[in-house]
Chain A
Amino acid sequence: MNRRDFLKFVGMASSATVLASCGVQRSNERLIPLLLPAEEDYLPGEAMFKPSACTECPAHCGVSVKLVEYNPIKLEGLENHPLNDGALCLRGQSSLMRLYHPARIRGPLRGRQYELVLDQMSGSPFQPVSWEEAYQLLADKMKEAAQAGRKNVYLSGRTSGSLSVLIDEFCRAAAVERLPEYEAYSHANLREAYNLLFGRREIPAYNIENSDFLLTVGADLLETFISPVNYGVQLRRARERQPRFHWMHLEPHASLTGFKAGQRLTLKPGSEPFLLSYLLNFIITSNLTENGLPDTVRQAIPRVNLAQAAEKTGIAQEKINEITQRLAAAQNPLLIAGGVSAMQANGLETALLAGLVQWATGMAGSTVDFSRAEDYARVGTLNDMENLSRRLDGGEIGVAFVSRTDPLLSTVPAGLQLGERLKKAAFRVAFTDIMADEHVKAYADAYDLILPLSHGFESWGDVEPRKGLVNVLQPALRETLFDTRSEGDILLSLSQIARGQQPSLAYKDWLTAQWNKRFGEARVAELLKQGYSAETVPPVTVALNAAGTAAFLRGAKFDVPAAGATLYVMPSIRSFDGRSKVLPLATEIPDPLTTISYGTWVSMPEASARELGVSDKTLVHKQRDEVQLEANGAAGKFAAMVQPGLPENVYTVQREQIPAAMQAYDPRSGEALARIDGAALSKTGATRPLAILAGALEQGQRNIIPRGHEEHKHGQEYLKGDETLYPQPNHPLYRWAISVDLETCTGCSACVAACHMENNIPCVGEEEHIRGREMSWIRVQPYYHEDGGMDHLIMMCQQCDFAPCENVCPVFATYHNDEGLNVMAYNRCVGTRYCHNNCPYKVRRFNWFDWTDRGAWQEPMTRMLNPDLWVRPKGVMEKCTFCVQRIRHAKDRAKDENRPVRDGEVTPACAQTCPANAISFGNILDTESEVYKKSQSKRKFRVLEVLGTGPALHYLRKEEHA
């Protein structure tokens, strides 16, 4: 190169550099110098927390929204909240995905098939319209319908708080009839029973935390029943407060709640009234009545003696005696009946007898608290839906508003044909948030107009899950992600248009006025900061309606024995009634009883599987036999799954997975039936893939969880595992450790969801799960024992002292740090997977693909990513780090204040969300720390300790085996 060329190159390169640095890049817009005072809720790089409420299910727990630069990135339970006290369930954790769901509706949509001209160019059955057009159209249609003498109706999901007031106002202003709300789990029998007994069609608050003996009949407290996180928190408190607290659970099937109760007893399907009648007889004869039972009622109670009760229920007499003895001995007993036991043909009887027990033993008024009743006042039943169907058939309905509920999907019994009949309304408008691909056709068929709702974190609002408890919703994002509005704003605008005014009032202002009225202006600011208001409520004394109760009892049909095999239709802990199925994480996390994530299955006892000739191949084979299930005149094909602990001739299936035609309901109360008799299974001969994540559900001889008997076979008894020739690792200040209490752990899998959300763990989908490539860093491993018991082993990286993964890594990508953590330098990993092979706990996760490319975080879900962590690229190993980013934050804070990190200052995501506080994290070198104290327990064991790995996870086994 000569001199002139050289100068040319230099000149070109330098001018290119100068040019490239010109212009404003998008990322520059956000640069905020810290010299200026920080805007509210915004400090660059700093996480802020805003209180709000979870609206994923009717329980409405309080949440704290973690915001980074206006983007909510994680939800945590709100500390000290009366319901959930810092905890949050699997669905609550996942519900942030609802905000960022790629299938969220981006703006108002007009259904097109009614348009005269179809736009051939676009494949979408919808046409975007502006909000003004949508309002005008709606107002015109409402007027048209009124002129045609049709009734405009408003159907919504369960609504509470101010929004409910506004709906009433709107309905008055616009002459719209507000229909009873639709909930798949309306608890109609339970409410009807309390109505018959006490004249209150309500669900009381159950005061578990102050009870010393809890008897539950069918109620799935820990899964979906009314307020499961609250019950989980209360159970934990009850165990803490009452050393003699005992929980007995009776159920006709097998549920997570059952396995996690202190004692699980199975009874024959439909035999609940006999047990409860026997209890009442026992209460009367042993003079345990506190509130007194009028003679008319006494006489109407069926006479059941011990032998009859035992025979009918199939429970051994001594067990029934144990129930009665514990009931008699308890100071504050509590009986909760519900779930599948209340949702059967004699469910109303069951609920009523249970209510009578509550009355007779004085629970009503103490542990059964009507003053803080759950707000189900406007929730209708399936009878109301039937009524709506009839009116639709009669052509009475003009404009049908359908808000926050989905009558099209499988939760409504097919007999009502609501989806079909809805088309008979003159104009249908849906207020909803997500339209997944599989919904498009159904929505296009059903709705003329779809108005997208803002998420709770994008709008103002409040919810009142139970009397005296108001949760405030306030926007966490600065602006809505899409062109969406809150239901309040929509209704206000519509009311104003109906009155002939221009829409002007915002829901926020209307709501503030409501709050000012209710709480006083001074308290509102505080309310917004606290996120909720727990008011004292006047006590409610209930009185027994003796005449009504006696009349019902005399006419009741208690004995509805199962004919043939019984199918139980259960709600799912992952998707509730099916509504959370749309959240990718809620399906990615496996069902805690079967470890199935994707696919549809019917659970059956082993005996049935043998009878059917369903293959007994171990669970490592993901191709399972297919069975045809016939029930209630409908049929469906499912994969066969053996559920340990399921009584003979009982099958279970999840509500979201069965065809609508299989649903049934009780016309007496409008309750959906969970128990369907005369179910039949047959093997189709085909197989289908089922994503079962476990390779086995029993530990055999392995003693992963020590079960009391001989721990190790000969040759190993002298090996404790801490013998080593190598020097002990040096941990000068901290040695982080976790303890997991298997006694209190409920297997609810909230920790798994929290871990996913905190650590940017991708949802990889069905195909990869079937291949065994789940990415979760923490697993809830069910182990069924031969004695009928079951444990959930929470498996995560054990951060071993002598980690087998560390010494095999050729490039030091994983190494032991001086805080005992087995840390991963993702950047350094070349992907030999040797560490994974050599990990006896198999907790390391390899990035088989670039999951982002494969759609793990479609826009706008990228905004949910935690900026404190990498999204790991393909070819890199990853694993649990005990949330090292949180440890870092705490250490930084402590360093600023020149002190060591205090106990409780760091909580990993899994421990933070646990309703049972089963997971404790801390510095085990600190003898005052909770984790140290727990590690000294007699119940303590470490998994595979005999290998000499020196794990930092200290498990506490269940009491009876300690």
Chain B
Amino acid sequence: MSSRTTETFAAGGHAHEHVSDPKAVKDQIEQDIYASVGKPGRLFWIALALSLGAVGIGAVCWAYQIYTGLGVAGITNPVGWGVYIVDFVFWVGIAHSGTLISAILFLFRAKFRSKFNRAAEAMTVFAVLTAGLFPLVHLGRVWFFYWLFPYPNQRLLWINFRSPLIWDVFAVSTYLTVSVVFWYIGLVPDISLARRLKQVKEGKIARVLYGIFSGGWSGSFKEWQHYGQLYKYMAALAAPLVLSVHSVVSWDFAMGVVYGWHTTIFAPYFVAGAIFSGCAMVLTLVIPMRKIYRLEKYISIDDLEKLAKLLMFTGLIVGYAYIIELALAVYSGNVYEYEQFMYRMGGDYAWAYWTMMICNIGTPLLLFFRKLRRSIAFLFAISIPVNIGMWFERFNIIIISLAKDFDPYAFGLYTPSLIELGITLGSFGWFFTYYLGFTRTLPVLSVTELKEEVEHGR
């Protein structure tokens, strides 16, 4: 394999007149991408141990909370929702970019998506799995969580469809189902391919599992034809979910009477924020992955730059929403809303507010510089404050709004407890455990699509 071929590929797969042997290129792709599947190295085990340790801490904290009562969390009067709901919205937000990248960009034929879609979809699934924990964690009586589902029972009890929490139950579970199915469909040809790997052939369990999940895929022409249609159909089905899930999550707040929550801009504002945070998380995950698994050939700086542009664009929407919120509070003349926003800027939680402002408005602006946009180190560096900023955005919305709402007597502060932080840590552990497992068992880029591009490029 000549180095020239791979270079050409890395340049976008379009300058292909010099490609000598597409078969060789495809073989190389297979070899490179599947290199990560199999026996992991020491670094992997350390990372996994850390993640599982975090899960353990979170589990112990949760068990203690269930046994003792929610009082072990810092939530109190009047701040009835704390870090748990912040985490929930944060993870649901993270889950957003996966479907956006795979479904919407697929429909718009944005080519660069193929560099990220597998990782982003995996991230989506795991992030929803993580997010789904928090509504359980925050319940006062989690042992009755199934009461939130409409199931027939002899007591003739039903759920309240007027409650945004019920909408949440449906929105999030639908999103999880669709994103799992979408992800899986994309994976089928790749899993089938994996059966050919040496390490899979040797492993007894692996062979069986890959066999089952490949679903008897043989790669016939007819299968490919159906596959292509199904994928398009699923993409179309998943696309509206990108907008719906986070809109519904935003209505948990927007439907409330609390100022700082009760506003009509919440749905688009939350969706933009979710994509913003999702893109940042993709950068956080993909840049180290690219390095560790030596995927520089496949994920080029141009691709990353496109993602950075998306980040910048959604960041601008988010910034606009922040300013509009403020402007409305000042312009409305509503004393409660006005004081709420003044309190955000200058009150007890001003540090959280300004952290959010700097991270979410300030940092994306730096992406206007082409040089920074094309610096991989910078892109990784910028993804972290955006993640932090987006976490604080939810913190500001949820906590500060509740801390000072209507009745001055009932004003009060909230400080997260160690239990809440422990469970938050556990959620990161939970997410990364899944993600690490994914990187070692499944191809982190879509081999099928990469090969397809080579083929198209010919």
A binds B: yes
In this complex, the interface size class of chain B, counting residues with CB under 8 Å from chain A, is: 35 or more
- B13-69 residues at the A interface, CB under 8 angstroms: 68-69
1/0 per residue, CB under 8 A from B, across A252-271: the answer is 00000000000000000000
Query: A715 to chain B: closest CB distance in Å?
Result: 5
Pick from A695, A697, A807, A812: contact of B410, CB below 8 A: A695
Taking the complex as formed, is B408 at the interface, i.e. its CB lies under 8 A from any CB of chain A? Answer: yes
- B155-189 residues at the A interface, CB under 8 angstroms: 157-160, 162-166, 169
Check B334 against A842 for contact (C-beta < 8 Å): no
Q: Which residues of A contact B144 (CB under 8 A)?
A: 830
Taking the complex as formed, is B322 at the interface, i.e. its CB lies under 8 A from any CB of chain A? Answer: no
Q: Which residues of B contact A478 (CB under 8 A)?
A: none
Check A837 against B402 for contact (C-beta < 8 Å): yes
Instruction: Name which of B213-221, B255-263, B435-443 contacts chain A.
Output: B255-263
Query: B146 to chain A: closest CB distance in Å?
Result: 9
Given contacts A696-B409, A715-B333, contact A874 B163 (CB under 8 A): no
A837 vs B162: C-alpha distance when bound (angstroms): 16
1/0 per residue, CB under 8 A from A, across B129-165: the answer is 0000000001111101101100000000111101111
Check A809 against B163 for contact (C-beta < 8 Å): yes
CB-nearest residue of chain A to B76: A772
Check B165 against A832 for contact (C-beta < 8 Å): yes
CB-nearest residue of chain A to B398: A837
Given contacts A807-B160, A811-B159, contact A834 B165 (CB under 8 A): yes
A768 vs B80: C-alpha distance when bound (angstroms): 15
Q: Which residues of A contact B80 (CB under 8 A)?
A: 833-834, 836-837, 846
Taking the complex as formed, is A698 at the interface, i.e. its CB lies under 8 A from any CB of chain B? Answer: yes
Check B140 against A845 for contact (C-beta < 8 Å): no
Check A772 against B78 for contact (C-beta < 8 Å): yes
Check B257 against A947 for contact (C-beta < 8 Å): yes
Check A768 against B71 for contact (C-beta < 8 Å): yes
Taking the complex as formed, is A876 at the interface, i.e. its CB lies under 8 A from any CB of chain B? Answer: yes
Check A829 against B141 for contact (C-beta < 8 Å): yes
Taking the complex as formed, is B230 at the interface, i.e. its CB lies under 8 A from any CB of chain A? Answer: no
Q: Which residues of A contact B202 (CB under 8 A)?
A: none
Check B141 against A830 for contact (C-beta < 8 Å): yes
- A821-869 residues at the B interface, CB under 8 angstroms: 828-834, 836-838, 840-842, 845-850
Query: B133 to chain A: closest CB distance in Å?
Result: 15
Q: Which residues of B contact A874 (CB under 8 A)?
A: 69-71, 140-141
A534 vs B336: C-alpha distance when bound (angstroms): 55
A312 vs B75: C-alpha distance when bound (angstroms): 53
Check B77 against A810 for contact (C-beta < 8 Å): no
In this complex, the interface size class of chain A, counting residues with CB under 8 Å from chain B, is: 35 or more
Q: Which residues of A contact B77 (CB under 8 A)?
A: 772-774, 836, 842, 845-846
Query: A842 to chain B: closest CB distance in Å?
Result: 4
CB-nearest residue of chain B to A702: B335
Check B165 against A812 for contact (C-beta < 8 Å): no
Query: B37 to chain A: closest CB distance in Å?
Result: 42
- A611-656 residues at the B interface, CB under 8 angstroms: 618-621
Taking the complex as formed, is A503 at the interface, i.e. its CB lies under 8 A from any CB of chain B? Answer: no
CB-nearest residue of chain A to B160: A812
Q: Which residues of B contact A845 (CB under 8 A)?
A: 77
Taking the complex as formed, is A205 at the interface, i.e. its CB lies under 8 A from any CB of chain B? Answer: no
Query: B412 to chain A: closest CB distance in Å?
Result: 4
Q: Which residues of A contact B163 (CB under 8 A)?
A: 807-810, 834
CB-nearest residue of chain B to A949: B257
Check B70 against A702 for contact (C-beta < 8 Å): no
Check B160 against A831 for contact (C-beta < 8 Å): no
Check A831 against B141 for contact (C-beta < 8 Å): yes
Pick from B147, B157, B162, B412: contact of A807, CB below 8 A: B162
Taking the complex as formed, is A781 at the interface, i.e. its CB lies under 8 A from any CB of chain B? Answer: yes
Check B70 against A842 for contact (C-beta < 8 Å): no
- Considering residues A619, A697, A704, A771, which has the most beta carbons from chain B within 10 angstroms of its beta carbon? A771
Q: How many inter-chain residue pairs (CB < 8 Å) link A and B?
A: 190
Taking the complex as formed, is B81 at the interface, i.e. its CB lies under 8 A from any CB of chain A? Answer: yes
Query: B212 to chain A: closest CB distance in Å?
Result: 34
Query: B71 to chain A: closest CB distance in Å?
Result: 3
Q: Which residues of B contact A849 (CB under 8 A)?
A: 68-69, 71
Q: Which residues of A contact B148 (CB under 8 A)?
A: 810-811, 830
Q: Which residues of A contact B408 (CB under 8 A)?
A: 694-700, 702, 704, 783
Query: A896 to chain B: closest CB distance in Å?
Result: 29
Query: B446 to chain A: closest CB distance in Å?
Result: 39
Taking the complex as formed, is B413 at the interface, i.e. its CB lies under 8 A from any CB of chain A? Answer: yes
Query: A193 to chain B: closest CB distance in Å?
Result: 41
Q: Which residues of B contact A768 (CB under 8 A)?
A: 71
Taking the complex as formed, is A3 at the interface, i.e. its CB lies under 8 A from any CB of chain B? Answer: no
Taking the complex as formed, is A944 at the interface, i.e. its CB lies under 8 A from any CB of chain B? Answer: yes
- B379-413 residues at the A interface, CB under 8 angstroms: 402-413
Check A830 against B413 for contact (C-beta < 8 Å): no
Q: Which residues of A contact B409 (CB under 8 A)?
A: 595, 693-696, 779, 781, 783, 793, 795
Taking the complex as formed, is B223 at the interface, i.e. its CB lies under 8 A from any CB of chain A? Answer: no
Check A838 against B69 for contact (C-beta < 8 Å): no
Pick from B75, B165, B411: contact of A810, CB below 8 A: B165
Check B140 against A829 for contact (C-beta < 8 Å): yes
Check B406 against A832 for contact (C-beta < 8 Å): no
A850 vs B65: C-alpha distance when bound (angstroms): 12
Check B140 against A830 for contact (C-beta < 8 Å): yes
Query: A598 to chain B: closest CB distance in Å?
Result: 16
Check A771 against B405 for contact (C-beta < 8 Å): no
Taking the complex as formed, is A701 at the interface, i.e. its CB lies under 8 A from any CB of chain B? Answer: yes
- Considering residues A695, A773, A774, which has the most beta carbons from chain B within 10 angstroms of its beta carbon? A695
CB-nearest residue of chain A to B253: A837
Taking the complex as formed, is A938 at the interface, i.e. its CB lies under 8 A from any CB of chain B? Answer: no
CB-nearest residue of chain B to A839: B257
Q: Which residues of A contact B404 (CB under 8 A)?
A: 695
Query: A195 to chain B: closest CB distance in Å?
Result: 46
Check A701 against B256 for contact (C-beta < 8 Å): no
A804 vs B163: C-alpha distance when bound (angstroms): 11
Taking the complex as formed, is B348 at the interface, i.e. its CB lies under 8 A from any CB of chain A? Answer: yes
Pick from A618, A715, A947, A949: contact of B332, CB below 8 A: A715
Q: Which residues of A contact B334 (CB under 8 A)?
A: 713, 715-716
Q: Which residues of A contact B142 (CB under 8 A)?
A: 830
Q: Which residues of B contact A847 (CB under 8 A)?
A: 69, 140
Check B258 against A811 for contact (C-beta < 8 Å): no
CB-nearest residue of chain A to B403: A620
CB-nearest residue of chain B to A764: B71
CB-nearest residue of chain A to B406: A840
Query: B149 to chain A: closest CB distance in Å?
Result: 10
Check A804 against B69 for contact (C-beta < 8 Å): no
Query: A740 to chain B: closest CB distance in Å?
Result: 15
Check B256 against A804 for contact (C-beta < 8 Å): yes
Pick from B159, B335, B402, B412: contact of A701, CB below 8 A: B335
A593 vs B169: C-alpha distance when bound (angstroms): 45
Q: Which residues of B contact A850 (CB under 8 A)?
A: 69
Q: Which residues of B contact A830 (CB under 8 A)?
A: 139-142, 144-145, 147-148
- Considering residues A621, A693, A830, A841, which has the most beta carbons from chain B within 10 angstroms of its beta carbon? A830
Q: Which residues of B contact A781 (CB under 8 A)?
A: 407, 409
Q: Which residues of B contact A697 (CB under 8 A)?
A: 408
CB-nearest residue of chain B to A699: B408
Taking the complex as formed, is A714 at the interface, i.e. its CB lies under 8 A from any CB of chain B? Answer: yes
If A700-B335, A795-B409, A842-B77 are given as contacts, then 16 extra A-B residue pairs at C-beta distance below 8 Å, sorted by A number, are A620-B348, A694-B409, A695-B404, A695-B412, A698-B408, A713-B333, A715-B334, A804-B256, A808-B162, A830-B145, A832-B140, A840-B257, A842-B407, A842-B410, A847-B140, A849-B69
- Ordered by A's residue number, 6 sampled pairs between the chains whose C-beta atoms are within 8 Å are A693-B409, A702-B335, A810-B165, A810-B169, A833-B138, A874-B70
B interface residue numbers (CB < 8 A to A): 68-71, 74-78, 80-81, 138-142, 144-145, 147-148, 157-160, 162-166, 169, 252, 255-258, 332-336, 339, 348, 402-413
A interface residue numbers (CB < 8 A to B): 595, 618-621, 693-704, 713-716, 768, 771-774, 779, 781, 783, 793, 795, 804, 807-812, 828-834, 836-838, 840-842, 845-850, 874-877, 943-944, 947, 949
6 pairs of A and B residues whose beta carbons are closest in the complex: A831-B140, A695-B411, A875-B140, A848-B71, A842-B410, A833-B80
